[in-house]
């Protein structure tokens, strides 16, 4: 069997999938390391012959000098993956003083028919084939006849309805479908004004331009009122204005203050579900909560009562007029999308679980369907079936459904996210020594990592956003003494980066993805090598001081944590301890030693800063800011970003001096892009790199709903 044919084979009763890097043992698929499969290919190509240790070292480690023990460990790992008993081996035999020999039977992977039909006489075979054919036809017919009626809607692009500098977001249709309200960037792009598109006259009307920021409009069920958030640098109100007369006079309508709201991050929305009820979210007990406002509109609008509903911790939410809620929450690293009936028991009905936050989300007007927008506009059924409507050039920021005809309006556009580098002297009155832009403005550059000595910075460069990751994902390296950065790795499309981590020597970088795989990038050879995979969860990934080993914790199938070690010289993983306690903040692991791989990293930093800064900053402002912008710890303190209104500011809290130092303004951030923003620092805190959003441009597009042919 040639190497080109080695895609799927059967080794005794074990199915090997070389392309997918996995094997099926005892009916269960398992991930297997690439080096084990490389060794297996070598043994298969010499089937029946003994393969020497030197041949194995030359093939598996062609450019690396390794010891003889590396071969022994790799063979042991392969035997373990194949469930081969060393005492009564059925796969690999040790040939003393020579090497190893494959003794397993190698055959082609079974086809579908071979999986379902045992060998039998010709007559029996005929009956089986006929039976399978008839059974398949009957099954398909019954599924077709008994299947529930699917939606017959199709969508076609109609037009773009706005074209202005800045962002148009927070889209909401009026109950009669004539008007589309939204928030539009002002001419300085520092805040939002309220605007309405009239489908009848095809005209955009500016209805509120007060010098404050008016966001997230929502219509009353009768269409006579429009509620929205009004933000200024130090406060937030929920306000409502009358829109029952001609649209040309709306900008002159009086407005009423309903309630105070919180200065927090993200595209919080209002949901006016009936004449007396508005829902929204705010922060309480250091987490987002669902809040219900009961109101009266006579003689003037006012809030009668407000209280928290259930134990929900919504990252995003949509509620329709039937009090059905679509809620996105995060638990143990997973994003869970559920439907809740707010009238009946508040029980969650799970719809979807994912490692990535799909946003924005919207309930469809037809029960059992919902919408997600990110790299594409998609309509989903609760059973998982999906319908892609539109593929934008950039990302989709917001959605709205016309309640009368099912048309879809969405805001799509692009963002400029660059990296900046600061050199600091925190013991001086003016802490900034120098500031420079680290990356190019032509792409989205995120996830910066600074080496311990501050001489190097690595980052992820992306072409555009995506639901499962990004297209054209690259890793770049910038040396402090060099003018430009260099490309060191191009990632496969199935890798969604999570963080980067330098070795103490600065010669190697770890890249972690959202699927809990770890890759090694050598800064000199510029090779991307998978080294850790197959685990449901990882914690506490860190380098040894000599940069020769990587220590980490992995959760096994029984839900227990294990301590592991990856040896750089042997290029192998070794189990150090079974049933280990979760590695977290303690006397042996002070706060500054933690990194983004620790499960409780963000919680520890948030709790520490909340305790230290409680008397200086409102927690309802600090905690959401830490969620938006991941902080960086170093030996002497913590760098963090505070959001006040739309303004972002960089601070440093010095832990020993218990002093909070303002560093600089980072510009405005009016709309949450659902993208990783973070800070990274050298060990001494003198070199800092951070993400900065330098601009968001979106327009509103319209897609017309039509009846599809069945």
555-575 pLDDT, tens digit per residue, is 987 889 999 999 999 989 999
* Parallel, antiparallel or unpaired: strands 647-654 and 637-644: antiparallel
Burial of 374 (0-12, 13-18, 19+ CB in 10 A): buried
- For residue 26, whether the previous peptide bond is cis, meaning omega lies within 30 degrees of 0, is no
Q: Does residue 24 lie in a domain region?
A: yes
Question: Does the pLDDT of residue 279 top 70, yes or no?
Answer: yes
> What pLDDT does 409 receive?
94
Cβ neighbours for 493, distance < 8 A, ≥ 6 positions apart? 469, 471, 473
111-131 pLDDT, tens digit per residue, is 433 343 344 444 445 444 445
Give the range with max mean pLDDT: 7-11, 146-150, 272-276, 372-376. 272-276
Which among 548, 375, 390 has a CA at the least distance from the CA of 472? 375
Q: Mean pLDDT across the stretch 435-458?
A: 89
Which among 187, 253, 174 has a CA at the least distance from the CA of 221? 174
Question: Does the pLDDT of residue 145 top 60, yes or no?
Answer: no
How far is Cα 572 from Cα 548, in angstroms, rounded to an integer? Answer: 12
Choose between 373 and 421: higher pLDDT.
421
Q: Mean pLDDT across the stretch 272-283?
A: 91
How many other CB atoms sit within 10 Å of the CB of residue 50?
A: 17
Q: Mean pLDDT across the stretch 39-50?
A: 87
Give the range with max mean pLDDT: 33-47, 216-230, 352-366, 436-450. 216-230
Tokens (6 digits) for 289: 């909560």
Kindly state whether residues 122 and 76 are assigned to the same domain: no
Give the DSSP H or E segment for 137. Answer: helix 122-146
> What pLDDT does 465 receive?
47
Domain of residue 84 covers 3-110
Choose between 136 and 280: higher pLDDT.
280
Which among 94, 49, 87 has a CA at the least distance from the CA of 72? 94
153-203 pLDDT, tens digit per residue, is 688 888 999 888 888 999 999 999 999 999 998 766 678 999 999 999 999
Burial of 224 (0-12, 13-18, 19+ CB in 10 A): middle
> What pLDDT does 324 receive?
93
How far is Cα 323 from Cα 273, in angstroms, rounded to an integer? Answer: 7
> What pLDDT does 576 receive?
94
Choose between 546 and 137: higher pLDDT.
546
The alpha carbon of residue 80 and the mean position of all alpha carbons in its chain are separated, in whole angstroms, by 33
> What pLDDT does 567 receive?
94
Q: Does residue 95 lie in a domain region?
A: yes
CATH code of the domain covering residue 75: 1.10.10.10
Give the DSSP H or E segment for 339. Answer: strand 334-341
Kindly state whether residues 31 and 106 are assigned to the same domain: yes
219-274 pLDDT, tens digit per residue, is 999 999 999 998 876 678 899 999 989 998 998 888 899 988 876 555 588 999 99
> What pLDDT does 120 receive?
42
- Asked whether 448 and 212 are in contact (CB, 8 A), the reply is no
Kindly state whether residues 124 and 41 are assigned to the same domain: no
Kindly state whether residues 74 and 139 are assigned to the same domain: no
Mean pLDDT for all residues in the chain: 84
Cβ neighbours for 124, distance < 8 A, ≥ 6 positions apart? none
> What pLDDT does 413 receive?
86
Question: Does the pLDDT of residue 553 top 80, yes or no?
Answer: yes
- Asked whether 374 and 380 are in contact (CB, 8 A), the reply is no
Kindly state whether residues 89 and 16 are assigned to the same domain: yes
> What pLDDT does 219 receive?
96
> What pLDDT does 118 receive?
40
Which among 360, 332, 339, 376 has a CA at the least distance from the CA of 468? 376
Q: What are phi and psi of 116, to 5 degrees?
A: -105, -15
Q: Mean pLDDT across the stretch 447-462?
A: 94
Q: Does residue 397 lie in a domain region?
A: no
Kindly state whether residues 7 and 45 are assigned to the same domain: yes
Between the alpha carbon of residue 678 and those of residues 216, 425, 435, 437, 629, the distances in Å are 26, 21, 17, 15, 5
Q: What are phi and psi of 113, to 5 degrees?
A: -65, -40
Q: Mean pLDDT across the stretch 623-648?
A: 88
Q: Does residue 31 lie in a domain region?
A: yes
How far is Cα 479 from Cα 504, in angstroms, rounded to an integer? Answer: 15
Q: Does residue 47 lie in a domain region?
A: yes
Give the range with max mean pLDDT: 113-127, 455-469, 527-541. 527-541
How far is Cα 508 from Cα 525, in angstroms, rounded to an integer? Answer: 10
Bridge partner list, 240? 227, 256
How far is Cα 291 from Cα 279, in angstroms, rounded to an integer? Answer: 6
577-618 pLDDT, tens digit per residue, is 988 998 888 877 888 999 999 988 988 999 999 999 988 877
Q: How many domains does the chain have?
A: 2
Tokens (6 digits) for 632: 């960086």
Which among 290, 306, 192, 216 has a CA at the least distance from the CA of 258? 306
Helix (H, G, I), strand (E, B) or coil at 186: coil
Region of residue 331 (phi > 0: left; psi between -120 and 50: alpha; otherwise: beta): beta
How far is Cα 77 from Cα 56, in angstroms, rounded to an integer? Answer: 14
Kindly state whether residues 35 and 69 are assigned to the same domain: yes
Burial of 494 (0-12, 13-18, 19+ CB in 10 A): exposed
Q: What are phi and psi of 138, to 5 degrees?
A: -60, -40
Q: Domain boundary residue among 110, 133, 157?
A: 110
62-75 pLDDT, tens digit per residue, is 766 666 777 888 88
Question: Does the pLDDT of residue 494 top 80, yes or no?
Answer: no
Kindly state whether residues 43 and 126 are assigned to the same domain: no
* Parallel, antiparallel or unpaired: strands 28-31 and 14-17: unpaired
The band of 9, judged by pLDDT with boundaries at 50, 70 and 90, is confident
Kindly state whether residues 118 and 71 are assigned to the same domain: no
Q: Does residue 524 lie in a domain region?
A: no
Kindly state whether residues 12 and 105 are assigned to the same domain: yes
Give the DSSP H or E segment for 603. Answer: helix 601-612
The band of 700, judged by pLDDT with boundaries at 50, 70 and 90, is very high
Q: Mean pLDDT across the stretch 488-501?
A: 88
- For residue 299, whether the previous peptide bond is cis, meaning omega lies within 30 degrees of 0, is yes
Tokens (6 digits) for 669: 């951030």
- Asked whether 568 and 547 are in contact (CB, 8 A), the reply is yes
Q: Does residue 226 lie in a domain region?
A: no
Kindly state whether residues 133 and 87 are assigned to the same domain: no
Give the range with max mean pLDDT: 216-225, 409-418, 700-709. 216-225
Q: Does residue 445 lie in a domain region?
A: no
Could you please report the per-residue DSSP string of 248-288? GGGGGS-EEEEEE-----S----EEEETTEEEEEEEETTEE
Question: Does the pLDDT of residue 3 top 70, yes or no?
Answer: no
Kindly state whether residues 18 and 93 are assigned to the same domain: yes
Q: Domain boundary residue among 146, 165, 199?
A: 146
């Amino acid at each position: 069997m040639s190497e080109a044919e080695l895609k799927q084979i059967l080794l005794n009763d074990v199915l090997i999938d070389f392309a997918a890097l996995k094997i099926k043992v005892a009916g269960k698929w398992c991930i297997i390391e690439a080096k084990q499969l490389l060794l297996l290919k070598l043994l298969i190509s010499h089937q029946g012959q003994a393969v020497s240790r030197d041949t194995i070292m030359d093939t598996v480690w062609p450019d690396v000098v390794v010891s003889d023990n590396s071969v022994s460990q790799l063979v042991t790992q392969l035997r373990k993956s194949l469930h081969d008993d060393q005492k009564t081996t059925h796969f690999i035999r040790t040939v003393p003083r020579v090497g190893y020999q494959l003794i397993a039977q190698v055959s082609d992977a079974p086809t579908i028919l071979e999986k379902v039909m045992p060998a039998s006489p010709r007559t029996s075979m005929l009956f089986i084939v006929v039976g399978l054919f008839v059974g398949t036809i009957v099954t398909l017919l019954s599924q077709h006849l008994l299947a529930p009626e699917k939606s017959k809607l199709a969508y076609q692009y109609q037009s773009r309805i706005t074209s202005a500098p800045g962002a148009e977001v927070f889209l909401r249709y009026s109950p009669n479908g004539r008007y589309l309200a939204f928030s539009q960037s002002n001419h300085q792009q520092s805040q939002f004004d309220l605007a309405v598109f009239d489908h009848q006259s095809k005209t955009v009307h500016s209805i509120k331009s007060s010098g404050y920021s008016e966001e997230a409009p929502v219509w009353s069920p009768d269409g006579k009122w429009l509620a929205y958030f009004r933000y200024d640098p130090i406060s937030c109100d929920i306000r409502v204005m009358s829109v029952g007369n001609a649209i040309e006079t709306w900008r002159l309508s009086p407005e009423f203050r309903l309630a105070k709201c919180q200065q927090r991050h993200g595209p919080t929305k209002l949901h006016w579900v009936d004449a007396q009820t508005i829902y929204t979210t705010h922060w309480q007990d250091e987490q987002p909560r669902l809040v219900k406002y009961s109101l009266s509109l006579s003689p003037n609008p006012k809030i009668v009562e407000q209280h928290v509903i259930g134990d929900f911790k919504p990252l995003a939410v949509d509620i329709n007029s039937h009090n059905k809620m679509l809620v996105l929450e995060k638990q143990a690293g997973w994003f869970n999308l559920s439907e809740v009936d707010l009238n009946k028991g508040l029980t969650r009905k799970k719809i979807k679980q994912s490692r990535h936050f799909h946003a924005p989300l919207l309930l469809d007007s037809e029960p059992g369907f919902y919408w997600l927008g990110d790299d594409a506009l998609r309509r989903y059924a609760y059973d998982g079936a999906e319908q892609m409507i539109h593929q934008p050039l950039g990302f989709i920021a917001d959605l709205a459904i016309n309640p009368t005809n099912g048309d879809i309006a969405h805001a799509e556009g692009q963002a400029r996210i660059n990296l900046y580098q600061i050199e600091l002297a925190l013991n001086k009155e003016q802490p900034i020594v120098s500031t420079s832009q680290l990356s190019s403005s032509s792409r989205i550059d995120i996830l910066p990592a600074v080496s311990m000595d501050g001489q190097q910075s690595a980052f992820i460069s992306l072409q555009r956003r995506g639901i499962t990751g990004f297209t054209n994902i690259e890793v770049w390296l910038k040396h402090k003494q060099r003018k430009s950065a260099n490309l060191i790795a191009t990632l496969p499309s199935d890798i969604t980066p999570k963080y980067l981590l330098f070795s103490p020597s600065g010669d190697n970088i770890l890249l972690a993805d959202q699927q809990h795989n770890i890759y090694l990038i050598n800064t000199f050879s510029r090779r991307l090598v998978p080294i850790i995979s197959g685990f449901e969860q990882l914690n506490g990934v860190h380098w040894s001081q000599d940069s020769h080993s990587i220590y980490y914790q992995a959760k096994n199938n029984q839900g227990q944590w294990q301590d592991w070690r990856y040896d750089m010289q042997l290029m192998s993983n070794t189990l150090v301890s079974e049933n280990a306690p979760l590695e977290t903040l303690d006397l042996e692991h002070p706060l500054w030693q933690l990194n983004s791989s620790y499960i409780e990293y963000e919680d520890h930093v948030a709790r520490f800063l909340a305790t230290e800064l409680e008397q200086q900053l409102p927690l309802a402002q600090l905690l959401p800011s830490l969620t938006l912008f991941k902080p960086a710890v170093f030996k002497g303190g913590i760098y963090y970003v505070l959001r006040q209104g739309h303004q972002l500011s960089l601070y440093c809290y010095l832990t020993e001096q218990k002093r909070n130092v303002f560093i600089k303004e980072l510009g405005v951030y009016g709309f949450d892009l659902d993208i990783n923003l973070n800070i990274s620092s050298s060990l001494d805190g003198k070199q800092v790199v951070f993400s900065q959003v330098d601009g968001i441009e979106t327009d509103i597009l319209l897609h017309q709903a039509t009846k599809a042919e069945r």
